[in-house]
Amino acid sequence: MSLYLEIPQLHPQFPYRAFLNDGMTIVYPHWHKEIEVIYASRGSVKIGVDDTVVELKEGEIFFFASGEPHYFLASPNSERYVYQFDLKLFDESFLRDTEESLVALFAQGQRHSRYWPKVFQEKMIDLLVELYHFEEQPTQGKNYFVLGNLHRLMAEMYLHLPKRSDQEIKETPTAIHRKDSLERLNQVFEYIETRYQEVITIEEVAKFVGFSPYYFTRFFKKNTGQTFVTFLTEYRINQAKFILANERLPMIEVAEKAGFSSVKTFHHVFKEAVGVSPLQYQKKMNL
């Protein structure tokens, strides 16, 4: 199964999003560091998990831990709610010594609600549906409502989420089994997140994670399906999209804030990737 790294376009300061997909929206095999929760609101949704296909029936929930490969097949007459969020939304210093980390909670937990206690599944559905309603009816303090529900989700999972068997966990390439690689990649992601506005070289990043430039180049391509330069460019383009959609700034400032060396380079790279110029994109998003 050929995989690629997905970079969900989440708000830099509030890395969460929720959206609705119909059953004919096909998603190819991929993985990402963010947690993803799926709720089948109508019909049956076919999800590719590792090398098998799981049929998520109407009213059921399925989630993917950080770094867990998955994909979606065509599922006519169905709809699914999709929730993606970065675990850095949560302050894990609140956890007591007896409580495992959020990464372990998701990696070891039973992903399919078919095997959850019924009352727990119903509670989770209520919280997820309410979360999506915040997207449909934006209100003052929306992010606090969203964060409140996400914290309630975490609390319910700590209390009631069944754990998978050791054999099930062993057979799944979750973040626990890809821990070393995922930790290295997260170091790279965090490096980019904090320094994308600066000039970044492969040599600098390789040194930061303790690799030679040659080994780092191979490691990054193997684990993400793309080169580091491509990844960095896509990240900067996504930053530019966010700025263009939310701020009215001259293009020279947009280019600088997104990490591009010049307006000319920014214009060329953005248009080649997005299909329209930065200015056209800005006008489109601010209609």
Q: Give the confidence band of 97 by pLDDT, cuts at 50, 70, 90.
A: confident
Q: What is the mean pLDDT of residues 180-189?
A: 76
Contacts (Cβ under 8 Å, ≥6 apart) of 64: 35, 36, 37, 38, 49, 70, 111
Q: What is the pLDDT of residues 268-285, one digit of tens each?
A: 999 999 899 999 988 887
- The span from the CA of 150 to the CA of 155, in Å, is 9
Q: Give the pLDDT of residue 2.
A: 47
Structure confidence at residue 132 (pLDDT): 95
Average pLDDT across the chain, whole number? 88
179-285 has which CATH code?
1.10.10.60
Pairing of strands 79-85, 35-42: antiparallel
> What residue segments make up the domains of the chain, in order of their start?
4-170, 179-285
Kindly report the pTM of this predicted structure: 0.69
**How far is the C-alpha of 268 from the C-alpha of 265, rounded, in Å?**
5
For residues 51-55, give the mean pLDDT: 83
* 4-170 maps to CATH 2.60.120.280: yes
